[in-house]
Amino acid sequence: MISIKDIAKKAGVSISTVSYALNRSSKVTEETASRILAIAKELNYVPNAAARNLKRRETKIIGAFLTDYNGVFYGDLLQGMKEVLNKNGYDLIVCSGKQSHRLLPEKMIDGAIVLDALFSSEELLLHADRGHKLVVLDRELIHPNINQVLLDNKAGAGLAVEYLIEQGHRKIYIVTGPPDSFDSNQRLQAVKQTIDRNQPIECISIQGKFDKLSGEQAAHQIMQDYTEPVAVFCLNDEMSIGMYNAVQKSDFRIGEHIHLIGFDNMELTQYTQPRLATIDYSKHKWGSIASEQLLKLIACEEVDQERIYVTLIQGDSVHPV
């Protein structure tokens, strides 16, 4: 490996002069600097990150921790993060799985954005206690080193239920996420409030896991108990698509017997027949705001709470009853 020592030798100067030159310090003559830079280029010099990080005590890398790589959902989110980070001289790396958590305490990254229910809050708080800066997208955590950028779940769930009610539905199934999911619980809470305000409504909740299979299973239960047209609010699109798949294989029809709405506006929902109603929000904005907040935390700037707003996407999966 070629180091500043080699450049120094070849240029006939000391390593500190080389270091200054490479870091564009004004402490060195324009002349010697350009000579050193030329030699560096000639020798294909690339600074060693480990050595630099050791001294600087920062890596200029931010980690995004996701549950998995099924980026159907994550593409825009990560793009939003990356654009902001790159603009500020940081790189983004995407990680998944418990094994990669080490990157934070070992100081391979300067901060993390977390959207992964499998990353426990205890662990996150521990890291925050040790001085690491975090932004979380899927929970509320009160800590000076942690900021949260959350979806306006309550508004979204309210919009969805109100839409069903406006269309005349009075029997509504709710397919929830896992009991420990922050998003699921927030949405569920808003659902209950909205329904309470619009009594009488028959509301039946079915526990799901935010995955396709849950949606299929819920569909089977609903079809088994079927007596009259019903509305279903799946608390995410993944389950909504699972339900769509299951219903497609039956004699029931989405938008006729089963009126369906989801949450997330996954691209796929616009390709189903009929189009699945859902709740939309800008994933790109979500990512970029998360990055901005993290950079503020790192810079020890004042940072307030940001929220991501949502809108209703109507679809033929919901018709008036």
Site residues (CB under 8 A) for a copy of itself? 1, 44, 46-54, 59, 61, 63, 68-72, 74-75, 77-79, 82, 86, 91-97, 99-100, 102-103, 105-108, 130, 241, 267-268, 271-273
Contact of 187 with 236, CB cutoff 8 Å = no
Q: What is the largest CA-CA distance in the chain?
A: 90
Nearest CA to 180 among 128, 261, 116, 239? 116
Q: Which of 42, 47, 273, 300 binds DNA (CB under 7 A)?
A: 47
20 binds DNA (CB under 7 A): yes
Binding partner of residue 282 among a copy of itself, DNA, none, CB cut-off 5 to 8 Å per kind: none
Binding partner of residue 93 among a copy of itself, DNA, none, CB cut-off 5 to 8 Å per kind: a copy of itself
Q: Which of 9, 10, 13, 260 binds DNA (CB under 7 A)?
A: 13
# chain residues binding DNA, by CB under 7 A: 30
Q: Where are the alpha helices (DSSP H) in 14-152?
A: 15-22, 30-42, 49-56, 75-87, 121-129
Residues 6+ apart with CB under 8 A from 185: 179
Q: What is the dihedral of CA 218, 220, 225, 227, to 10 degrees?
A: 100
Measured from the CB of residue 4, what is the shortest distance to DNA in angstroms? 4
- Tell me the HSE value of 35 on the side-chain side, using a 13 A CA sphere: 12
Measured from the CB of residue 201, what is the shortest distance to a copy of itself in angstroms? 31
Measured from the CB of residue 262, what is the shortest distance to a copy of itself in angstroms? 14
Measured from the CB of residue 301, what is the shortest distance to DNA in angstroms? 21
Nearest CA to 19 among 6, 44, 108? 6
Q: Which of 34, 42, 52, 248 binds DNA (CB under 7 A)?
A: 52
Binding partner of residue 144 among DNA, a copy of itself, none, CB cut-off 5 to 8 Å per kind: none
Binding partner of residue 87 among DNA, a copy of itself, none, CB cut-off 5 to 8 Å per kind: none
What is the token pair recorded at 278?
């859902």
5 binds DNA (CB under 7 A): yes
Q: Where are the alpha helices (DSSP H) in the chain?
A: 4-11, 15-22, 30-42, 49-56, 75-87, 121-129, 153-166, 182-196, 212-224, 237-248, 283-298
9 binds DNA (CB under 7 A): no
CB closer to DNA out of 25 and 314: 25
Measured from the CB of residue 73, what is the shortest distance to a copy of itself in angstroms? 8
16 binds DNA (CB under 7 A): yes
Measured from the CB of residue 97, what is the shortest distance to a copy of itself in angstroms? 6
Q: Which of 1, 24, 44, 131 binds DNA (CB under 7 A)?
A: 1
Give the residue carrying structure tokens 């028959």: 202
Nearest CA to 279 among 219, 218, 237? 237
Cα–chain center distance at 135: 10
What residues make contact with DNA under the rule CB under 7 A? 1, 3-5, 12-17, 19-20, 22-23, 26-29, 31-33, 45-48, 51-52, 54-56
